[in-house]
Amino acid sequence: MNLVFPHTFIPWFRAVAPYIHMYRGKTFVVGMAGELVAAGKLNNFVQDLAILHAMGIKLVLVHGFRPQVNEQLAAKGQSSRYHLGTRITDAIALDCAQEAAGQLRFEIEAAFSQALPNTPMANATVRVVSGNFLTARPVGIVDGVDYMHSGVVRRVDAPAIRRAIDIGALVLLSPFGFSPTGEAFNLTMEDVATAAAVALQADKLLFLTEIPGIHEDLGNPESPIDTEMALADARRMLSQLPPPSQPADLAYYLQYCVRACASGVERTHILPFSVDGALLLEVFTHDGIGTMIVDEKLESLHEATADDVGGILQLIEPFERDGTLVKRDRTEIERDIANYTVIEHDGVIFGCAALYPYPEARTGEMAALTVSPHVQSQGDGERLLKRIEQRARAAGLDSIFVLTTRTMHWFIKRGFAQVDPDWLPEARKRKYNWDRRSQVLVKKLA
């Protein structure tokens, strides 16, 4: 074995371990756009799903088939008709949809059956189960448009799906459902995946889509992807976007994510299938690759006001006493209160952090990051960090830095790197306490 290899492999593998432990036994619903298959990415994607499956994650896969149905229609000399992103399914389109679904199911099952040596599928055994798990009803006539055989999910037989995934099968759902009279309806992958995730109360709903996620600046496709968005913000954004006219419109996926989150699926994700391994990157790395919408009751996270000064003092005082934090008096906190973000629950402040910008150096200091000892290790430190990063980006800063004597590893794990104190902006360097010998850590904001 290459002697250098273990030095990189072992830390890398161990860094992934917390996610493996965390997701074991959890349920993920994955919605895959038909474009993923059309782009020739099915095999790699199936390999990634097989890895999640091997790690004890219970999987429901829902495939889309828009381009495949369009192809079938084109072969029959027919054109595809949509209204507000939903297909209008006449009798010919329904035929095409059935053919496309049959073909795709076949391809997906074939991909899961691969087991060639020296491929990620060697030794993999993923049994795929499909069936009539969905009851549908017609979309009907909306705004004068008759959707004909297009339907929406009426009910998901969650107990039957649960039984299948509990014995280790992967459940594959096609966007088809049947009415109690036995009539078939063409559904959308997004509706099916959302309904299944809600019915199963899945831990995650992940969409593999044509869009890369949600850009921080919606008007600028060059701006970074917002890796985490609170449900409240997603709702606000959705209300400001025009109604989607095609799946590539952001509002299209966003509406399903919001619906799932609001109905008890804590985390929903929009990921680009164009990035090889997007699913693994999202699930097993800290920042992920697309946008995750989270219902974490982020309403409790807010910018501080004068009313919060007492609560902040109470929270940080024990850490000042034991030397973890530098002493700040009431006047100082009162003066700088607008720099603080707090986490509050039932009127009690149990987390805070402050951002002190140094615009001349395009950086800012995150100070006084504290989470009450009673509620540590529940991700609140991380939520505060994310909010400070957002505030820093909004202020046009390229990086944030912290000074710490005891919490270095927490920051390094979250993308900070140590630098020499000389790196500090001049104004901050003048206040640096050389006796305290704090380490300086910087995180570049993507």
Distant-in-sequence, close-in-space partners of 78: CB < 8 Å, separation ≥ 6: 92, 93, 96
Closest residue to ligand COA, judged by C-beta, is: 381
**Residue 356 Cβ, how far from ligand COA at the closest point, in Å?**
13
Residue closer to ligand COA (CB basis): 76 or 321: 321
Residue span binding ligand COA (CB under 6 A) among the ranges 125-133, 177-185, 195-203, 372-380: 372-380
Q: Is 324 in the site for ligand COA (CB under 6 A)?
A: yes
Tokens 């074991």 label which residue?
A: 24
Nearest to 138 by CA among 191, 185, 93: 185
**Residue 311 Cβ, how far from ligand COA at the closest point, in Å?**
14
Q: Is 312 in the site for ligand COA (CB under 6 A)?
A: no
- Site mask for ligand COA (CB under 6 A), range 15-54, x = bound: ---x------------------------------------
Position among 378, 429, 444, 446 found at the interface with ligand COA (CB under 6 A):
378
Nearest to 363 by CA among 297, 268, 295, 443: 443
| Interface with ligand COA in residues 54-83 (CB under 6 A) | none
Residue closer to ligand COA (CB basis): 8 or 378: 378
**Residue 150 Cβ, how far from ligand COA at the closest point, in Å?**
44
Residue span binding ligand COA (CB under 6 A) among the ranges 4-12, 94-102, 121-129, 373-381: 373-381
Q: Is 102 in the site for ligand COA (CB under 6 A)?
A: no
CB 401 within 8 A of CB 443: yes
Q: Is 404 in the site for ligand COA (CB under 6 A)?
A: yes
3-state secondary structure of 271: strand
Nearest to 371 by CA among 419, 286, 307, 300: 300
Position among 19, 82, 178, 319 found at the interface with ligand COA (CB under 6 A):
319
Question: How many positions of this chain bind ligand COA (CB under 6 A)?
Answer: 20
3-state secondary structure of 101: helix
Residue closer to ligand COA (CB basis): 89 or 370: 370
d(CA 127, CA 169): 5
**Residue 405 Cβ, how far from ligand COA at the closest point, in Å?**
8
Q: Is 381 in the site for ligand COA (CB under 6 A)?
A: yes
Q: Is 407 in the site for ligand COA (CB under 6 A)?
A: yes
Q: Is 433 in the site for ligand COA (CB under 6 A)?
A: no
Output DSSP code: residue 299. Answer: G
Q: Which two three-digit tokens encode residue 306?
A: 């004068």
CB 161 within 8 A of CB 155: no
DSSP H helical segments within 24-90, as ranges? 34-38, 42-54, 66-75
CB 261 within 8 A of CB 293: yes
Residue closer to ligand COA (CB basis): 68 or 439: 439
Nearest to 209 by CA among 28, 33, 30: 33
Rg, Å, the chain Cα set = 25
Residue span binding ligand COA (CB under 6 A) among the ranges 35-43, 194-202, 365-373, 422-430: 365-373
Position among 101, 134, 301, 371 found at the interface with ligand COA (CB under 6 A):
371
Nearest to 275 by CA among 206, 356, 212: 212
Residue closer to ligand COA (CB basis): 239 or 431: 431
Residue closer to ligand COA (CB basis): 33 or 369: 369
Q: Is 376 in the site for ligand COA (CB under 6 A)?
A: yes
Residue closer to ligand COA (CB basis): 190 or 296: 296
- What sign does the dihedral 111-113-116-118 (CA atoms) show? positive
Q: Which residues pair with 208 in a beta bridge?
A: 32, 271
End-to-end CA distance of the chain: give it in Å, rounded.
36
**Residue 78 Cβ, how far from ligand COA at the closest point, in Å?**
54
CB 406 within 8 A of CB 443: no
Q: Is 432 in the site for ligand COA (CB under 6 A)?
A: no
CB 32 within 8 A of CB 189: yes
Pairing of strands 170-173, 58-63: parallel
Position among 6, 168, 379, 396 found at the interface with ligand COA (CB under 6 A):
379
**Residue 15 Cβ, how far from ligand COA at the closest point, in Å?**
11
| Interface with ligand COA in residues 131-190 (CB under 6 A) | none
Q: Which two three-digit tokens encode residue 406?
A: 């005891």
Pairing of strands 27-32, 58-63: parallel
Nearest to 191 by CA among 138, 240, 236: 138
Position among 19, 358, 410, 432 found at the interface with ligand COA (CB under 6 A):
410
Q: Which residues bind ligand COA (CB under 6 A)?
A: 18, 319, 324-325, 369-371, 376-382, 402, 404, 406-407, 409-410
